[in-house]
């Protein structure tokens, strides 16, 4: 899922991570491996957001899905099967 700048900001307010910018040298490789997403890196590894049924009517929410863990020494990422986490990000709430 590719996020708008506004949704990236809302995500970072709820998820202690950094976004990998589209112009980062690694971005084309990540898109090739995992598809067109907004990628986040935190102390646990590489993640994306996937839409879920909202926790309340009128909300737009996503779950954080881990794609890779930090390898030995914390310098490289080791990809693995997508792994849903329990972290839910609320992107929008209808008023």
| Cβ–Cβ under 8 Å, residues 42 and 18 | yes
Closest CA to 40 of 55, 28, 27, 53: 27
Secondary structure letter of residue 64 according to DSSP? E
* Tens digits of residue pLDDT in 7-38: 999 999 999 999 999 999 999 999 999 999 99
Using alpha carbons, list the distances in angstroms from residue 10 to 19, 42, 75, 86, 91: 12, 16, 28, 18, 6
Whether the full predicted model's pTM is greater than 0.75, yes or no, is yes
Q: Is a pLDDT exceeding 80 seen at residue 94?
A: no
φ, ψ for residue 83 (rounded to 5)? -130, 110
């Amino acid at each position: 899922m590719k996020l708008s700048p506004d949704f990236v900001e809302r995500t970072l307010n709820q998820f202690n991570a950094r976004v990998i910018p589209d112009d980062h040298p690694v971005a084309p490789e990540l898109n090739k491996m995992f598809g067109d997403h907004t990628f986040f890196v935190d102390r646990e590894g590489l993640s994306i957001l996937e839409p879920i049924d909202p926790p309340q009517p009128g909300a737009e929410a996503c779950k954080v899905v881990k794609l890779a863990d930090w390898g030995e020494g914390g310098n490289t990422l080791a990809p693995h099967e997508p792994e849903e986490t329990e972290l839910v990000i609320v992107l929008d709430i209808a008023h």
